[in-house]
A and B are shown apart, each in its own frame.
Chain A
Amino acid sequence: MKILTRTIELLLLSAMLACLLISLAGCGSSSHEKKVGIVVPLENKALDEIVAGFTETLRKTSSVPVKFKIANAQGDMNVQRAIIQQMRDEKYDIIAPIGTVATQMSAALIQQQPIISLAANFSQQDRLQRKTCNIAVVHDEISPRQTIAFIHEVYPQLTQLTLVHSASDKIFPEVKAAVEAGKEMGINIQPVMVPTLNELYSVANALPQNTQGILVLKDILIASGISTLEIAAQKHHIPLITADQGSVQDGAAFALGVHEREIGVEGAKLAAAVLSGQPVCSLPIVDMKRLTVFMNTAALAKENQSPAAIQAAAKKLNYKIEME
């Protein structure tokens, strides 16, 4: 019996080892290939779009062959640090962190290699204060004022809006700016913070009675639970307005935002310039300017909202419209 138990244990452990070996992905690289490492902080559809835009564009535009390593830290700080240090030690030609935290960590740990930061809050001042200026940045923020102005154009009678946001690093100043812009346009914006996704359901079911719409800014955590808010919007027959394409694909009524892929595309242009020999610090900090209105007609119908007003406002403000 003892031998049998031991044999089963050995078999199980051998199976686990086999799994481990299968997972090993050995890959060599030729000497003329440039190595580009992309640090993805966690699993997210929008981040995947950024990565796709970055890799596809850089492959096409780079003057030298490029080999990519895409490493997802799965939301773990220790793993993220290990990934960045590994890319640094293996002398990657470019390291591209996505998001503010990954950018800050890369900036703290990497002094020599060029960093192309995607979708991060990292200002020109931050860049110049560094000992070595080795960062180029693509910002992904859309001015909350523009979002509120668009909403005001679509719904001129709207006076009460609930803004659901997470405790994410970059969202707080945007919430403040949105509230101020709302005041100027006669819209009372009530912010509601949701620290963890588990609490979103409770918030969605306790919306203020007088709210005439739900607003979500570009917020990865809230976007992950957008269907919960869409159910609430349908129940109250109010629009769910967001600021990214992914959440409209997942059920929100409409959004004024940018193609996530475009952030990657802009980052790839910076990376291509670096690979062709341009100093990283001479590259500009890129802002996303081309805004698109994403519409989900099925969600609009369930919320009892008319697409005509959105289309008219988009036309007036000169935004491109895309149906999801």
Chain B
Amino acid sequence: MLDLLNVIITQSIPFMLLAFGISISYNVLRATDMTIDGSFVLGAAIFARLVTLGFSPPVAATAALLGGALAGMMVATIQRGGRVDPLLAGVLATFILSSLNLILMGKPNINLLSQTTLVSFAFAQSNTMGWIVTGLYTVILCAIAYSLMRSHFGLSLRAFGNNPALLKRLGKNIERYRLLGFALTNLLAAAAGCLTAQTVGYADIGMGLGMTLTGIGAIILGQQILRSVTKQPHFRSGAEFIACLIGVILYFFSLNALLRLDIDPIYLKMILGIVLIFFLRAAVKPTLSGNAS
């Protein structure tokens, strides 16, 4: 049981940053940002390349985060003026990033096992210490992002997502909020990629595959469950963050519990889907009935 708990926590730590980034784009900016898959790899790619070129890990990590923010600004620029749908802009940005990541890495896979990273000194002492340090980075970044969401800036971002016309009438530059909002979400995704690469020992061009969909699934699950508990029709920053945490933990709990039941991984995604449906059915009371909708 302790092993299972340990595994769930260690898998959730780097993924939490990605999920929080997705949560901001989904709940606050009201956009499904598919760029996250690419930004996740971008963070890992920049960090791995710079570290292998001899840059210090803090410099490499800062560059990785900035790279993620730039990727977010790119997707915001594609959408500029609402000319391109956010979903489509995300897909286009992912296309660009898949080539860019390969160019940056120089090869599809960079081995980090023998490199000094931000967490290698801690993992050299013990696994527990390694995960404490990794968790600390996650907590710091999540706390900064959370504080931003609670600030006046966060409120303006929410206004941008809910009613950009109103924001414009208030004399605000909505493109500025679009740029900063997507920069923040993709910065968090790049941070998740950067931390993941350090904990799994490599950066790989294919490591972001399906991350956005898993993240969206996890946060929706968390929201549904939290909503049934708090009975609140709408969310605010704190609840959104907690929903994210619940969703991520529940996703990794289900994944690992099923594997420990010796279920063949070929059936894993199907059974995982069914189990999550059960969770949702059990947690959420019906709100619509018959034709009354």
Interface set of A (CB-CB < 8 Å, partner B): 1-2, 5, 9, 13, 16-17, 19-20, 23-27, 43, 69, 71-79, 81-83, 85-86, 89-90, 100-101, 104-105, 107-109, 111, 126, 129-131, 167-173, 195
Instruction: Contact check, A23 vs B263: say whether CB atoms are below 8 A apart.
Output: yes
Q: Does B10 contact A (CB under 8 A)?
A: yes
Q: How far is the CB of B217 from chain A (nearest CB, A)?
A: 12
Asked if B209 lies at the interface with its beta carbon under 8 angstroms from chain A, I say: yes
Whether a CB of chain A sits under 8 angstroms from the CB of B221 is no
A171 to B275, CA, bound (A): 39
Task: Please indicate the chain A residues that have their CB under 8 angstroms from the CB of B201 in the complex.
Answer: 104-105, 107-108
A134 to chain B, nearest CB (A): 12
Residue of A nearest to B102 (CB): A167
Tell me the complex Cα distance, A79–B259, Å. 9
Contact between B209 and A83, CB atoms less than 8 A apart: no
Residue B210 at the A interface, CB < 8 A? yes
| Secondary structure of the B contact surface, majority rule | helix
Q: Is the CB of B114 within 8 A of A79?
A: no
Residue contact A23 to B271, C-beta cutoff 8 Å = yes
Binds A, one of B103-111, B142-150, B156-164, B174-182: B103-111
- Chain B interface size band reads 35 or more
A-contact bits for B265-293, CB 8 A (1 contact / 0 none):
11111010011011001000000011000
Judge if B7 is at the interface, Cβ distance under 8 Å: yes
Chain B residue contacts of A27, Cβ below 8 A: 262
Given contacts A27-B262, A169-B107, 6 further A-B contacts (CB under 8 A): A9-B281, A13-B278, A83-B259, A85-B7, A101-B206, A109-B200
Task: Output the least CB separation between A292 and chain B (Å).
Answer: 28
Nearest-Cβ distance from residue B108 to partner chain A, whole angstroms:
4
Residues B204 and A169 in contact, CB atoms below 8 Å apart: yes
Is the Cβ of A167 less than 8 Å from the Cβ of B200? no
Question: Can you give 19 A-B contacts (C-beta < 8 A)?
Answer: A24-B262, A69-B262, A72-B265, A76-B269, A77-B209, A78-B11, A79-B255, A79-B268, A82-B7, A85-B11, A101-B109, A105-B200, A126-B114, A167-B102, A167-B108, A169-B107, A169-B109, A171-B108, A172-B107
- Contact partners of A101 in chain B: CB under 8 A: 109, 202, 204, 206
**Which of chain A's residues has its CB closest to B256's CB?**
A82
- Expressed in whole angstroms, the Cα–Cα distance for A71 and B265 within the complex equals 6
Q: Does the CB pair A130–B114 fall under 8 Å?
A: yes
Residues of B at the A interface (CB closer than 8 Å) are: 3-4, 6-7, 10-11, 15, 98-99, 102, 107-109, 111, 113-114, 124, 127, 199-202, 204-207, 209-211, 214, 252, 255-256, 259-269, 271, 274-275, 277-278, 281, 289-290
Residue on B with the closest CB to A131?
B124
Question: CB-nearest residue of chain B relative to A74?
Answer: B265
Q: Pick the most buried of A19, A78, A90, A105: most chain B CB atoms within 10 A of its CB.
A: A78
Sorted from nearest, which 4 A-B pairs have the closest CB atoms? Answer: A108-B201, A169-B109, A129-B114, A89-B3
| Interface secondary structure of A, over-half rule | helix
**For residue B15, which residues in chain A have a CB less than 8 angstroms away from its CB?**
78
For A16, what are the chain B residues with a Cβ–Cβ distance below 8 Å? 274, 277-278
> Which residue of the partner chain A has the closest CB to B110?
A169
CA distance A13 to B276 in the complex (A): 11
Chain B residues, Cβ within 8 Å of A111: 127
Q: Give the Cβ gap from A123 to chain B, nearest Cβ, in Å.
A: 9
A172 cross-chain contacts in B, Cβ below 8 A: 107-108
List of A residues within 8 angstroms of B99 by Cβ: 195
- A89–B93 CA distance with the chains assembled, in angstroms: 39
Residues from chain A with a CB closer than 8 A to the CB of B256 are 82, 85-86
B202 touches which one: A19, A76, A105 (CB < 8 A)?
A105
Cβ contacts under 8 Å, A109 to chain B: 200
List, in ascending order, chain B residues with CB within 8 A of A13's CB. Answer: 277-278, 281
Q: Tell me the smallest distance from the CB of A2 to a CB of chain B, in Å.
A: 6
Task: Give Cα A73–Cα B200 distance, bound, in whole angstroms.
Answer: 15
Given A16-B277, A85-B7, the answer on whether A108 and B200 have CB atoms closer than 8 Å is yes
Whether A169 pairs with B108 at a CB distance below 8 angstroms is yes
A19, A74, A76, A173: the one within 8 Å of B274 (CB): A19
Interchain CA distance A274-B209 in the complex, whole Å: 35
Cα separation A90 to B271 with both chains bound (whole Å): 22
Asked if B113 and A195 make an inter-chain contact with CB atoms under 8 angstroms apart, the answer reads no
Closest chain B CB from A89 CB (angstroms): 4
Name the A residues within 8 Å of B7 (CB-CB): 82, 85-86, 89
Nearest chain A CB to B38 CB, angstrom units: 12
Partner of B263, one of A25, A76, A105, A167: A25
How far is the CB of A99 from the nearest CB of chain B, in Å?
A: 10
Chain B residues in 8 Å Cβ range of A2 = 289-290
Cα distance, A233 to B128, chains bound together (Å):
55
Shortest Cβ distance from B264 into chain A, in angstroms?
A: 7
